[in-house]
Chains A and B, each alone.
Chain A
């Protein structure tokens, strides 16, 4: 359409006087340049968007390529072997995988109820003027770099737990028949439980802010109807808000879980980096990310490096699945709102 118009202008210009022809030619040239620039800009932005895809596939390809030597040497047994011996070059990922899963699990066990209760407070109970300051404080908690949690955990939190919570747990729960092994051994301060608690503090803001957003998205009519038939605030939240916001909350929880699984520095400081699976939560352990952070620069030999990259690949696959599921659920609730 545009091009036809331009040619007509040029044709007319050729038929008319010389002065007009110069003007029309310039005009055509400018239009041409515009069109070229337009197409170029579009293609450049498109290339950048495709670049995001390339980035992710690049990560996957690089990790797979780097872990081939380890996977070739150990096969699928890599996933279920606990042994991790750099001297004899025997590597298995079971202890870090276990550590990653157990610390994240305990962290979510604490962060989810607390986060939901904070969201409940912020959406239903909190006076209007206090909402913004609290919301900002929660966001600041999310903004503190993970290495700060690490140094604080190592020098402040772990000694505190060693002196208070851990002896208490050993004395009380350590004597309860079934769960006693969970709290066996001396209070080291650092260990699986400490790492889990710090992770819980770190994912708390994520769970809180997403829960608050989905709670806010519940149509007021539903809540008003429930209040109208005489429900208490808690009953409204429990039987109206929570069921309505369920998918969104699960999405937020999964997003927090994705963070917890991949969290590196805070855990590296306080988990103790011990390649063994012990029943006790007070014992030192390790996670995938902590193992990589601690050992990668010191790893000598291709097999050692490759085993660490294979660990990274496993971590990436786990978090990818969790995050993809989280996004899918949040997308579903977004569609319902929008």
Chain B
């Protein structure tokens, strides 16, 4: 009896140790990756990075054109993707909560949410780049918008579902039409959550590389022309990191540092927004 109990106790201790080890193992990677980014990227971080163009190999330069390109493409994606996502999420939560259409859309949306982003790139290549005959900033923006839409649909629906029905009933009882009730009551009640959704979507796309590789391509020079290939930070990192030139590699590290901390700041502030709302 005691021997058996000892065995069981031992099993429990082993499992406890393993689980603590697993947690340390999991968190260790975060420390290692962030540490490597700071180690390789922080030294090169200087004002020139934000004021100069990407250099040819061997020369010094900065990352101004890819940073601006990334901002433009990301902005474009948000402007295209957010309204569609919010409207579709509104339908799922408000009009067709129990529709058969909604069940299908929800399922498909969840699949789009985790679909390989490189396939999105191929899709936009087929419908935009191949038909227009050239790579363009537009194509990059639309490709990222395809990734934004499912994220926003999901959060919008979740947040609108959490709005208490009493609010809707109150709005209807004073004679407010459904559409105005949604826009003035439900959206207002769910605003923080919906903003969070958009922030998370931005965090998700600002590091996306695969869909941009053959849509917006890359551009070594300053260009804000949406009909021409456009530089973006992730694609420049990809190109520079795989190049044999030391200058380019260190610029790639700096770019990686900028992206990572921008993305982490975005996702932390998105979470803080939700947390502060929950407390109030």
Residues of A within 8 A of B (CB): 34-35, 37-38, 40-42, 44-53, 55-56, 58-59, 62-63, 65-66, 113-115, 117-118, 120-122, 125-126, 134, 136-141, 143-152, 154-156, 201, 204-205, 208, 232-235, 237-238, 255, 258-259, 261-265, 268-269, 289, 292-293, 296-297, 308-309, 312, 315-316, 319-320, 323-324, 327
Asked if B65 is an interface residue, CB under 8 A from chain A, the answer is no
Query: Nearest Cβ distance between residue A322 and chain B, in whole angstroms?
Result: 9
Q: 25 A–B contact pairs at CB < 8 A?
A: A34-B180, A45-B95, A46-B101, A49-B87, A62-B126, A63-B126, A118-B26, A120-B15, A121-B22, A126-B23, A136-B268, A139-B267, A143-B203, A146-B209, A146-B210, A151-B241, A156-B36, A264-B210, A293-B210, A296-B213, A312-B119, A312-B122, A319-B115, A327-B107, A327-B111
**Given A48-B87, A52-B150, A262-B115, do A327 and B110 touch, yes or no (CB 8 Å)?**
yes
A265 touches B123 (CB 8 A): no
Expressed in whole angstroms, the minimum distance between the Cβ of B248 and any Cβ of chain A is: 12
- B153 neighbours in A (Cβ, 8 Å): 52
B contact residues around A201 at 8 Å (CB): 29
Complex contact A59–B37 (CB within 8 A): no
In the complex the two chains form, what is the Cα distance from A45 to B111 in whole Å? 20
Given A139-B271, A264-B118, A289-B118, 20 other A-B contacts at CB below 8 A? A48-B84, A48-B87, A49-B102, A49-B105, A52-B112, A58-B123, A59-B115, A63-B123, A117-B21, A122-B23, A144-B207, A145-B207, A147-B238, A155-B40, A155-B241, A201-B29, A234-B14, A234-B16, A269-B241, A269-B242
Residue in contact with A145 in the complex, picked from B102, B182, B214, B263, CB distance below 8 Å: B263
Total CB contacts across the A-B interface at under 8 A: 269
Chain B stretch 145-167: residues in CB contact (< 8 A) with chain A: 146, 149-150, 153
Report Cα–Cα, A35/B37, bound state, in Å: 57
Query: Nearest 9 pairs between A and B by C-beta?
Result: A145-B207, A262-B116, A48-B87, A117-B22, A41-B179, A45-B91, A234-B15, A232-B12, A48-B88
Best-buried of B104, B126, B183 by chain A (most CB within 10 Å): B126
A110 and B221 alpha carbons, distance in the complex (Å): 43
Could you tell me the distance between the alpha carbons of A312 and B122 in the complex, rounded to whole angstroms?
7
A53–B208 Cα distance when bound, in Å, is 23
Closest-CB distance, B29 to chain A (whole angstroms): 5
B26 touching A297, Cβ below 8 Å: no
Assess the B8–A296 pair: CB atoms within 8 A: no
In the complex, are the beta carbons of B9 and A292 less than 8 A apart? Answer: no
In the complex formed, the residue of B with least CB distance to A198 is: B29
Instruction: For the complex formed, measure the closest distance between the CB of B264 and the CB atoms of chain A, giving whole angstroms.
Output: 6
Chain A nearest CB from B54 CB (Å) reads 16
Contact residues of B: prevailing secondary structure: helix
Contacts A56-B112, A258-B114, A264-B117 given; indicate if A49 touches B209 (C-beta within 8 A).
Answer: no
Q: Are the CB atoms of B126 and A52 closer together than 8 Å? A: no
In the complex with contacts A45-B91, A49-B105, A232-B8, A143-B267 CB distance below 8 A:
yes
B256 and A264 form a contact (CB under 8 A) = no
Q: How far is the CB of A242 from chain B (nearest CB, A)?
A: 12
Verify if B120 is at the interface (C-beta below 8 Å from A): yes
A231 CB → nearest B CB, Å: 9
Contacts of A63 in B (CB 8 A): 119, 122-123, 126
